[in-house]
Amino acid sequence: MDRNSLIGLSIIGLLIVAYTIYTQPSQEELAAIKHRQDSISAVNREREAAEALRLAQSAKFSDTLPNDADQTALLLEKRKQELGAFADAAEGIEQIISLENNLIKVDISSKGGRIRSVELKNYKTWDGHPVKLMSYDSLEWNLTLSAGNRIISTQDLYFSASGTSGIEKRASMRLQAGEGKYLEYLYSLKDDSYLIDYRINVVGMQDLIAANTNYINLDWKDKLIRKENNLDNERAAATIYYRFADDEVDYISETSDEKQSLKTKVKWIAFKQHFFTVALIADQTFDSPVVETFTDKSSDYVKNVSASFALPYEHKEVQTYGMRFYAGPNHYQTLKKIEDLQLEKLIPLGWGIFGWVNKFLVIPTFNYLNSFNLNFGIIILILTILVRVILLPLTYGSFKSQAKMKVLQPEMTEINEKFKDDPLKKQQEMMGLYKKAGVNPLGGCIPGLLQLPILIAMFRFFPSSIELRQESFLWADDLSTYDNILDLPFHIPFYGAHVSLFTLLMTISTIIYTRMNMQMTAATNPQMKWMLYLMPIFFLGFFNNYSSGLSYYYFLSNIFGFGQQYLFKFFIDEDKIHRQIQENKKKPVKKSAFQTRLETMAKERGLKPPRR
């Protein structure tokens, strides 16, 4: 390591130390975090103690019940001991109130006062059933209160239900705790919206809730129900997203089972599946929630997800917590229209320039074509043509550069043979040949690199596009997932147990396209040849389980590439290029800085510079 490297590493180290010191929480922040954690721990200890007391009392009552009358009396007494002012809510008849607009139907249950299901009217599951989010059998929504020495959990208590209908549909779920004392959940729904307004009102309970309670615990758990044909692909896209108060959006990796304590304020938390999401959005912020994902591969559930919140309680006469649910599709325009919440980042369009290509080029073009109500297979065909036309100058430049390299190939082969034992000398001669001929050896690579952002953008766009979901074309029933023309009686490692025809067509056309390019460049490196042939075969197994719309797009792109290759041959005369190169060789060439460095290195080794 030279002096500059040591100085650079030292500066980097100092920056890291300075950043660590700068971002370290203050003593007040540490104290606040510790206070919250102590309060939550205290509530959890009280809950565990209350549960142990309940079990002990249940066992005691079971041993001492002489008859039905006594059993009823003891049961009432037991409920009073466990629930106190909430004892009357231990039993009831479940009532369902439905709020409905043209997009969704929301069923709310009086048991637990929580959402029973959200049905999306315009979508079906892969097997033809209505898409339902927040299903009663898989959802847990529980508010925990510390009332004296009792821990009150709302999920099994019966609320009194009431509702209204009209332009703005409303439902009220109220849990009574005495005269003028209650816990209330308020729901409302507007037309043309996937947003469900949700309010928690704690009224007149400042004396019931323990004086040392500074937080009310809210636990949200869900087992995400399968909605797509390919469970593995759905699991690979499901996770928890969240947005910090400072606008940064982050998520738990889709491939990991992980628990995270978000030690800062959060604007929203979303349980994301492949094409659908339920997000809980705070009117203000949530303070340091805990989120967790877990995959149980022995079940048909996509993933188990959970979020725990500590809602600050200030012992006011009326305390309200304002939130909203988003329960709907992962549709870019729909999510982007929801104020400035950045929910559209739930859709993985790619980072940096790849995301920009999708946002500002692919999606607007795709939506414009979709406005004509065309079949999506035709839309992809038109999109492919437009992309190829946009890239035509780059493709032509690459082809022309390859033609020049092909003309120079005999001289390059001669230099390789002549200086095969002296790599430096060979490099000098090659650079001299390029300069004399006026050829840029990277001329064929740079246009390909400039096309790469569109290639990768398409790779992210098609599997994430809900517009392609359950849209058929030719033999493909659903362009958002693989097309299956044959079920195999066995499983092939890294390939699967089915055959995707679009993937086969894409692979075969890629191999042919690769062969044409190698003939054009007259490539002689055997290792490079094998690598170029093996790559499409390697990707065959990956794309066999991927979006058929993507494989179809790549197949079409290859077909149009063939057409462009043959078209370019009519406009590019290799004999004319050869004559031009020979003319260029006769012209004096100014040494480049790189050539000068090569010659200097050669002189230091005792070699003569190449003759011009």
Say which residues have a Cβ less than 8 Å from residue 434's Cβ, sequence separation at least 6: 408, 440, 441
Give the pLDDT confidence score for residue 607 in this predicted structure.
47
Model pTM? 0.75
Give the pLDDT confidence score for residue 398 in this predicted structure.
73
Token pair in block for residue 69: 């009358």
Q: How many residues does the chain have?
A: 612
Q: What is the pLDDT of residues 349-387, one digit of tens each?
A: 888 888 888 888 889 999 999 999 899 999 999 999 998
Sequence-ordered alpha helix ranges (H) in 522-592:
526-543, 548-571, 574-586
Between residues 596 and 261, the one the model is more confident about: 261
Burial 271-291 (b: 16+ CB within 10 A, else e): bbbbbbbbbbbbeeebbbbbb
Highest average pLDDT, of 5-14, 206-215, 312-321, 442-451, comes from 312-321
Give the pLDDT confidence score for residue 521 in this predicted structure.
52
**Is the model's pLDDT at 303 over the cut of 70?**
yes
466: amino acid identity, one letter: I
pLDDT band for 263, please (50, 70, 90 cuts).
confident
Token pair in block for residue 268: 């929203």
The span from the CA of 400 to the CA of 108, in Å, is 66
For 473, phi then psi, to 5°, come to: -160, 125
Q: Return the domain boundaries, the chain.
A: 25-74, 93-347, 355-586
Indicate the angle between helix axes 363-370 and 376-390, nearest 10 degrees: 140
Give the pLDDT confidence score for residue 400 in this predicted structure.
72
The span from the CA of 502 to the CA of 380, in Å, is 13
pLDDT band for 297, please (50, 70, 90 cuts).
confident
Between residues 178 and 292, the one the model is more confident about: 292
In 389-529 the beta strands, taken as DSSP E runs, fall at 486-492, 496-499
Mean pLDDT of the chain: 81
Q: What is the pLDDT of residues 482-533, one digit of tens each?
A: 898 888 888 888 888 888 999 999 999 888 877 776 655 544 455 566 677 7
Give the pLDDT confidence score for residue 97 in this predicted structure.
92
Highest average pLDDT, of 275-284, 498-507, 579-588, comes from 275-284
Between residues 368 and 17, the one the model is more confident about: 368
Task: Determine contact, residues 387/561, Cβ cutoff 8 Å.
Answer: no
- Which class does domain 93-347 fall in? mainly beta
Spatial CA neighbour of 462 closest among 507, 502, 512, 511: 502
pLDDT band for 473, please (50, 70, 90 cuts).
very high
Spatial CA neighbour of 470 closest among 118, 120, 238, 122: 122
Maximum Cα interatomic distance, the chain, rounded to a whole number of Å: 116
Give the pLDDT confidence score for residue 526 in this predicted structure.
56
Task: Determine contact, residues 271/279, Cβ cutoff 8 Å.
Answer: yes
Give the pLDDT confidence score for residue 522 in this predicted structure.
47
Task: Determine contact, residues 178/85, Cβ cutoff 8 Å.
Answer: yes
Q: How far is CA 427 from CA 257, 442, 602, 606, in A?
A: 51, 15, 11, 16
* % the chain with pLDDT above 70: 73
Q: Mean pLDDT throughout 2-14?
A: 62
The span from the CA of 429 to the CA of 440, in Å, is 14
Between residues 580 and 272, the one the model is more confident about: 272
Q: Mean pLDDT throughout 283-289?
A: 92
* % the chain with pLDDT above 90: 37
Give the pLDDT confidence score for residue 207 in this predicted structure.
85
Give the pLDDT confidence score for residue 355 in this predicted structure.
86
Q: What is the pLDDT of residues 53-90, one digit of tens each?
A: 555 555 544 454 455 555 555 555 566 666 778 888 88
**Is the model's pLDDT at 133 over the cut of 90?**
yes
Spatial CA neighbour of 338 closest among 346, 223, 232: 346
Spatial CA neighbour of 384 closest among 561, 568, 513: 561
DSSP 360: I
- Please identify which residue in the block is written with the tokens 């230099």: 415
